[in-house]
Structure 1
Amino acid sequence: MIKIKNLVAIVIFTMLIYSCDDNNNGIIVDNFDHEGQALIDSDSLIKFLKNHYYNTSLDSVKALALGETPLFEDNNLNSMVVTENEIDYTLYYYVNSVGNPNPAKGHPTVMDSVYVKYYGQRIIDTDSISPSFDSNVNGSWFGLNNVIRGWSYGFTKFKGGKNITNNGPITYENGGKGILFIPSGIAYRNVGNGNILANENLMFYINLFDVVEDTDHDNDGIASINEDPNDNNDPRDDDTDSNGVPNFFDSDDDGDGVLTKDEDANGDGNPANDFSDPNNPTLADYLNPDIK
C-alpha cells in the first residue's frame, strides 16, 4: 500500500536535510533548493513525455515508437499547476475516462475520501521507467488530505463509477481511469521513501471507483473542504484557535468550549451560516470565540 503522509510527517521529512550552526541561533533551516528542483523536475517530465507514448492495446506507457504520438502531444494529456510552499509544480494527468458515477457525484476535492486502485512506477530518467514499486489491484479507501499532494490534486480531475457488486467482490464499472505524472516536489521531495529515491518523479496508473463527497473529518457539520476561513483552498493551514489542530480536525474550531456542531443558532444543521455577533456580523459563530 502506498505510504500515506499526513501533514505532520511531511513537515518532519522536509526538515530532515538542514544545516544548524552558531549563525542561525539553533533554528533548523532547510537549505535544499526546492525551487531549483522544481525546474529540474519540470524539464525532466517534459522530456519523458516527449519520449514516450500511450499504447492503447497494452494500456501502458511505452518508449516512443515510429509513427506514434508522444504523450506530450496527445490530446488526452492535461496539466495543472499545484502551488506548495509558494513553489509552483506542474502535474500532468492522462485521461482515459473521466468517470460516470451512478448515482451522480462530482469530482472529489482534495479533502474527500476516495476508493481507488493504482499501480506506481518511478521515472528513473527521461528514457527509463522502473518496475512497479507499489500497487493495489483490489481497491482501497484513501483520504486525499493524507496522501502525497500529487494524488490529492490529481484525483480531483476524475470521477467515480457505478457499484455493480452482486454477491461477490466489490466491483465497479465506468469509473475514472488515467495516469498521473507527478514531480518529486509534490511526491516524496528530497527525502524519498523506501524504494523511491530522493527527487524522483513518479507515474501512477489509477482507477477511481467511488467518492465520499463533502467528507467531514471531525463530524462537526461542516465539510472539511469548507473549513478554510482564509480562502486559500487549503484547509490544512487553518487553525482558528491556534491549538495546533487544523479546523477540519478540530471539533471546537474557535476554542470557546462549545462544539462547532452546537454553534448552530438557526438549527439547520449548518454552523457555517450562523452569524450572531452584531459587532462582527461577517464572522460565523463557530469561528467567533465571543459567541457561545
Structure 2
Amino acid sequence: MIKFKHVLCTAIVSVVLYACGSDTNPRVDDFDHEAQAVIDNDSLVVFLKNNYYNEVLDSVKPITNGETPLFEDDKLVTKEVTENDINYTLYYYVNRVGNPAEDKGFPTVMDSVYAKYRGQRIVNRDSLSRDFDKNTTWFSLNNVIRGWTYSLVEFKGGNNVTDNGPITFEDGGKGILFIPSGLAYRNRGTTNIPSNSILLFYVELWDFVEDTDDDGDGVPSMDEDIDGDGNARNDDTDKDGIPNYVDTDDDGDGVLTKDEDRNGDGNPANDFNDPDKPTVPDYLNRDIRVKSV
C-alpha cells in the first residue's frame, strides 16, 4: 500500500481538477437555493425511476425491458445532508464498499483520498451528457464539491497490487454518485458545467491518508473540529480568520502548535500544563506557552 503523509500529501492534493474544485466559499446572492434543492430532488427521483444499473456495461442506462429502476435497487443509498442551512438529499449507488487487506476504516470528510472518477451531467429523465471530466488523482475531501465530501466517506480503499510497474489497485470502494446542484456548482456552474446542473459520477476509491494533517502541526485535521459539529472548517480558536486545520499556531500565542508538544510524543493535543484550565490543551491555550522538551 502506498503511503503519503501529511505535508507531502497536502502538496499533492492541492493539484485537483477544476471540475471537482472546492466549493468552500459560495458567493452570496439572492438565488433561491432552497427551492432549487426541491427541484433537483424531484428531477433526481424521476431519473432514478427511469434508469437502471447495467452490470455488463458498468453504466447507468434507460429502462427498456422491465429492468429494476435505480430507485428500487437495494444498492441505492439515500443520505440527508445540510449545507449552508439548506437540506439536500444525496443518492449514491454502492457497487462495492471496499475490502482492503489493511483496513483503515472509512475516510473522514477531512482526509486525502486517491480515487478514479468520471463525471456526466443528468440532462433529463433518461439522458446523460458526455463525460465532462475524468481522472485518477489524489485530492482532499475538504477541497472538492460537497457531494463528493459527503458520499466518498461511505467507501473504503483497496489493495495496491503493483509489482514494479504502474500503480494499480483492486477491491477498492466502487459506486455511482448522484449529486444535486446545491452540493455541486450551485447556480454558478463552471466553464463546461451549466448552472444548476445535477451531476453523476462513477467513482472508485483506491486509497486514503489516515489522519490527514493539512497544516502539518501534529494534530489530524479532523481532530481540529473543536466544537464537535463534524465540520473542522468553522473552528478558529484565535479568531484570525484561518481555520485551525490550516493554522500552524492555533491559539495565536506565538508558539507553533507543533512545538507545544511538551511530552514529545508528536501529539500536541494531549499536553495539558495549565492547572487553571486542565481540560484545554496547551496548543489551544493562549495563557500558556510551553514548548517541546
Same fold at TM > 0.5: yes
Q: Supply the distance in 2 between the matched residues of 1:51 and 1:170 (Cα, whole angstroms).
A: 37
Report the equivalent of 2:148: 151
C-alpha contact 1:2 1:134 (8 A) present in aligned 2:
no
Aligned residues of 1:2 and 1:135 also touching (Cα < 8 A): no
2:129 is paired with a residue whose SS is: strand
Identical aligned pairs, as a percentage? 63
Q: Which amino acid counterpart does residue 129 of structure 1 have in structure 2?
A: L
Q: CA deviation at 1:2?
A: 4.6
CA distance change for structure 1 residues 4 and 128 in 2, over 3 Å: closer, same or farther? closer
Distance 2:201 2:209 in 1: 22
1:241-265 Cα shifts (integer Å, max 9, x gaps): 1112110101100000111112223
> How is 1:36-185 mapped onto 2 (pairs within 5 angstroms)?
36-136=35-135, 139-185=136-182
- What is the alpha-carbon distance in structure 2 between the residues aligned to residue 132 and residue 98 of structure 1? 24
Shift of residue 193, structure 1, vs aligned partner: 0.9
Are 1:271 and 2:287 an aligned pair? no
Are residues 1:230 and 2:230 paired? no
Query: In 2, Cα distance between the equivalents of 1:128 and 1:233?
Result: 36
Q: Which residue of 1 aligns with 2:241?
A: 244
> RMSD over aligned Cα, in angstroms?
1.4
Query: Could you tell me which amino acid in structure 2 is paired with residue 3 of structure 1?
Result: A
Deviation at 1:132, TM superposition (A): 0.7
Aligned: 1:259 with 2:256:
yes
- Once the two structures are superposed, the pairs formed by residues 183-198 of structure 1 within 5 Å of their partners are 183-198=180-195
Sort the Cα spacing of 1:111 and 1:274 in 2 relative to 1 into closer, same or farther, 3 A.
Answer: same
Q: Could you tell me how far 1:274 is from its partner in structure 2?
A: 2.1
Per-residue deviation, residues 179-199 of structure 1 (Å, max 9, x unmatched): 000010010001001221111
Post-superposition shift, 1:128? 1.8
Q: Deviations over 1:27-61 (max 9, x none)?
A: xxx21111111111111111111111001111110
1:194 and 1:275 map into 2 onto residues whose CA distance is 50
Note if contact 2:132-2:192 (Cα within 8 Å) is conserved in structure 1: yes
Greater CA deviation, 258-267 or 104-113? 258-267
Query: Which has the larger displacement, 115-124 or 99-108?
Result: 99-108
Distance 1:117 1:179 in 2: 12
Q: Any conservation in 1 of the 2:19–2:133 contact (CA below 8 Å)?
A: no
Measure, in 2, the Cα distance between the counterparts of 1:72 and 1:14: 33
In the alignment, the residues of structure 1 paired with residue 171 and residue 22 of structure 2 have an alpha-carbon distance, to the nearest angstrom, of 30
- C-alpha distance in 2, partners of 1:3/1:271? 36
Gaps of 5+ in 2: 1-16
For normalisation by structure 2, the TM-score amounts to 0.89
Q: Match of 2:45, SS?
A: helix
2:111, 2:208 within 8 Å by CA — same for their partners in 1? yes
TM-superposed deviation, 1:268? 2.6
Instruction: Tell me the SS of whatever aligns to 1:37.
Output: helix
Q: Does the 8 A contact of 2:257 with 2:283 survive in 1?
A: yes
Counterpart amino acid of residue 202 in structure 1? L
Task: State the SS of the aligned residue for 1:157.
Answer: coil
Q: 1:3 aligns with which of 14, 19, 34?
A: 19
> Contact 2:112/2:139 (CA < 8 Å) preserved in 1?
yes
Contact 1:271 1:284 (C-alpha < 8 Å) held by counterparts: yes
Please give the secondary structure, in 1, of the residue aligned with 2:131: strand
Question: The residue matched to 1:158 in structure 2 has which SS?
Answer: coil
